[in-house]
Chains A and B, each alone.
Chain A
Amino acid sequence: MRHGLILWREGELSFSDVKARQVRLQQAIIAAGLDGVLIYTNHVRSAGVTWVSGFTPYWSDGLVLVLREGLPIFLTALSKRVGEWVKSVAPTFEVAHSPFPGKLAGERLAKVGAKRLGVVELDRMPGGVVEEIDSVLPVELSDATDLFTKVRGQVDGAELNLVRLTDGIAREAFKAGDATSKFAGDFTGPVERAVRLAGAEECYVAVAPDLSKDRCFIRTGKAALGRTFAARLSVAYNGVWVRRIETFSAVSEIASRLASVSVELDHASPIHPADGSISAFYLPDGAKLIDWHLEAPYGTRPLKIVADAEKPLAAPVPYGILTTAFTQGGETIVAARPVGIGDTWRREAAE
């Protein structure tokens, strides 16, 4: 489940921001000759529904049915009492309850005489939901992942601002960590606390405890920290996920060099295009690239690897998180930063 604060924050993501997204999706639905699009959500595969409504389930799952017109409908097996909470944090859709949400979707589709339904990631839809729909209305199902990806690929200002804000939470939280800690948990505990106190929806922390050995990130807090280690913060805030990786050292000389590299990356990364083009990478002087990958929101996944050294980017993404590993001055450094979010952030970071 999620573990943090979830609120409707009109100042950060307004009803009209979300409405504009819904309208764009409805235009695409009409253009494709569909009667509606169905998007599944649980708190792991939340990105599609979050984008179209601003809502992320705290636990359990649900469906959002977007018809050609009108407010989308959130169909859930959650109780009506939980539904009151859902409405309080997402005024952008109608909430409908049933122990069988797929059946309810079928009933709503029947009401508008639907014949063709697009389903985002149809292959991944729980089979029980499809059976429930089919039991009410044998509608023609087609995969709407490409349709959704195309619409979702157009980023809006509200989302970019949230990416910047979320990255800022992660950047500040790292300051709570003590790089001279003996064990990973000693470092990550205060960092996670700082993220949550900043009002994040969720925070996952992982550590590559000794970069002289390998670059594998694990979650166990008992691992002893080596001379240099990397920490990865995955932070969710108002529906947006950002990953940020920093490399640390208990050796002061190395630590100050790492801090300089971090600042350089903060200056350079935001304006990099999120297109997975390796030529666009910023690397500090003398650095030698080991590996990289680009993550981005994709379908129902908040972040998914969409390009790496072997796999080119297949479709445009709204923004990305670029993770790089490189050596500099004999040290292995791992870093992750948002890319493709414009230069406003660059100026702010520089200040």
Chain B
Amino acid sequence: MQVNQTKSQFVAVASIAAELSAVMEVAKEISLAAANAKAIAFRAGEKAKGFQPITDFINELAKDTIELVNNINEYAFHLYRLTVNEQRMTEACRRFEKVGQLAVGARYADSLNAPLQQVRQRNQVCHREFIIQVSELLIKLADVMHPARAARVIAANSRIEASQAGEYLQSLQAVAESVDNAAQIINDKVHKCRSALTIINVAE
């Protein structure tokens, strides 16, 4: 286990936490856009009849995304704890090996062999668990991509429905744009998370 590897794990896990935080904010924006759209559609009445069920659907997508991100955050935190433990054990291995070099000829030098073996084993177990968690997190992140993709389709439908809403056209088109942009941002952020994790996997 190299020190640089745990450093890159720290960077990757920190990046994921930052990107997930941004995804959460964007999902909340979608939720707000849905509420706004619902109010406009209500005022527009018959002219925006086709738009009303879409607003509910947008809101559901936002809720799903928030729930998924909350769930993923727990994985990210667990990955962080694993990285801290692994870093500590990597450091312990390095320092114990140094003790071995300095303690040549010491009466009780061999007594360090057992702790050194244990630390090496714990380090390996910890790293294996990290890799498993990364794989599971990649799957979870793929799940977040689904509502984001669905949101883009809904945004396209919303534009069509907005075109029939008379004087509410501009307001509803703005809602559609907002949802579309938010979905694109989520897509990009999640993609960045996946890239950060993939780099760790490739490093393996």
The yes or no verdict on A and B being binding partners is no
